Structure 1
Amino acid sequence: MSALTAKPHYSLPRFLVVVACVALASCSSTTMSDSAVNPVNWITPYKVDVIQGNFVSKEQVEQLQAGMTRDQVKSVLGTPLMASLFHADRWDYVFTLKRQGVEPQSFKYTVFFKGDQLVRFGGDSMPSESEFISSLSNKRKLGKVPVLEATEEQLKAAEKSKSSASNTQSESSSDSLPAGASNKVYPPLESQKQ
């Protein structure tokens, strides 16, 4: 009789694991790494929105007038992001917004003072508040927002249903007690620390 030779036993799950590893390794090539076909690109980690600085709207810029004091400018635009000791007569308002899947937004606006008086101001073309808010929209649509205020009829109907429910509950709770039983009040399970 001939010597027994050992034949390796390949199972289907092991074969599929090897095929999956080869497929994922091939996905790391430069031609597929940027592709939507690459399964590695299907799952992306969550990135936090990074907001820095003060957003200055078009409406705020329109309120600025030469001759305003520093306090008046601060009440209109807010505290500047950058106020340098070396440039005490210059305030820079910088706003940046970095969001996942959206091109970063950056706005800069500068105001110049002479002493305590606003002399000149300028910078990027600022969007209005409504334009800026509409640019923040997510890819998903939430649908119609429900009315958050109840009408007088709805309030009265809710009060009636609440009072009728409490009446039927008190009647049913007294009916459900066995004969001779009383409503006992028990002490709390945990002692109260004093």
Structure 2
Amino acid sequence: MCTAPPARLSLLALIGATVALLSACAGSISGEKVLGVVSPYRLDIVQGNVLTKELTARVKPGMSRAQVRDLLGSPLLTDIFHADRWDYVFTIRRQGAAPQKRQVVALFDGDVLKSLDLPNDLPSENEFVSAINTRESRGAAPKLALSAEEIKALPVPAKTAAPAAEAIGVQRSYPPLEPKP
């Protein structure tokens, strides 16, 4: 018969209870909280190009690939088997906000844009900012552009001639590079 000292038995019991408690904790992680109390930090995962209604409205059929790339950025997916198709995919997962996924497809005929397939739920810039804003707002959303009246009300900058640059340091005189005749 095996007899162990009582101190050793209590240590084994403590280790066994710790392992059982930890395995129970691992199984109770559900949703956003651990044991229904603690919310672990989750990284924000953003992939792809943010495309909005205002940005895609500037892209028109007949534009070159370079013009489309200048406006929308480099596509997330290009395929050598479908050389006339660019996929702009955007996904974002943030803690406290619903995950978002959108896909815009640009179809080309050679080097010319044939069509731009847009999803129905493509947001405007203000809608996108409010959708990813998980903090409490402290008032109205900031304006993203000036109105025509506000642009006209801006003061005209004064036209001043740039002052002549003063020579700094020691002034030296060098001989001419070509010999005199």
Q: What TM-score comes out, normalization by structure 2 length?
A: 0.57
1:66 to 53, 61, 65: 61
Q: Does 1:45 align with 2:40?
A: yes
Q: Secondary structure at the match of 1:51?
A: strand
Extract structure 1 runs of 4+ deviating beyond 3 A: 32-36, 142-145
RMSD: 3.3
* Structure of greater Rg: 1
Tell me which of 132, 136, 139 is aligned to 1:141: 136
Gap change, CA 1:102 and 1:66, over 3 Å in 2: same
- Give the paired residue count: 123
Q: 2:114 aligns with which of 119, 123, 127?
A: 119
- Residue 90 of structure 1 is matched in structure 2 by 85
More helix by share: 1
In structure 2, the CA distance between the partners of 1:44 and 1:85, relative to structure 1 (3 Å rule), is same
Give me the identity figure in percent: 38
Gapped runs of 5+ residues in structure 2? 1-16, 141-181
Contact 2:48 2:76 in 1 (8 A): yes
Higher strand fraction (1 or 2): 2
Quote the Cα distance in structure 2 between the aligned partners of 1:104 and 1:110: 20
TM-score (norm 1): 0.53
What residue in structure 1 maps to residue 103 of structure 2?
108
